[in-house]
Structure 1
């Protein structure tokens, strides 16, 4: 250190000593004790700003969660509505198929009744034809036994 630097350092120290002399013992004690208080005050200010920032982040996160919840609720409602519509369509289709099946069985019952009536009618025709053939045979046999039949080669 040269002489000029020493002189400047002494002037600075003289200024500090004059300030400390003006503060006195009480001011000096107050200055020493204010250091930790200023640190605590600085920590409190920093913590306050951090809590304000955290509250803002929490509010933004809560708003985002509410929006996501609303989207999920709307999506679930849309899916439920689609499921309900599909289920109703299936029930309608099943009902239509059931009605068609019922009609099919009713038609089959009616067809069976008609076949029964037809069979009874054909039975009468078959019985009538059988009796007519029996009478024809009896007539032919009677003719043959009298010798006038075609079985003997006569016309």
Structure 2
């Protein structure tokens, strides 16, 4: 009986520690895609790109507590990617702690386009998206800027 209990505990430990901690960018990308409305990728206009930024505030333990995005965000982009309070709820369901970002702000830019396009039409508001990239709420605060997430296809699910 002792050996059986020991084996069960070892198996539970290997399952718990066997799961890889996803990179923050993978987590964010997955959560954005989960909130995507309809067939956003297929319905994205020819040579149109969605470009937005998300700023995440972490508490002292490294958990995400606040999500910021620009108030001047393109309404179509905001609607397609559900950039609202539901995104923060999706992120928090994973209950992950990123200790390297504890008590910090992290900014992600997110660039999404149709994979069949070969250029971007700048008349569609892309340059305005860049101009309005940083959310007003985080301006002037120390900020960690991570590599952009570039998404032409749906990313794979995280554990």
Provide the TM-score with structure 2 as the length reference. 0.21
Structure 1 or 2: larger strand share? 2
Structure 1 or 2: larger helix share? 1
Indicate the structure whose relative CO is greater, using CA pairs within 8 Å and at least 6 residues apart: 2
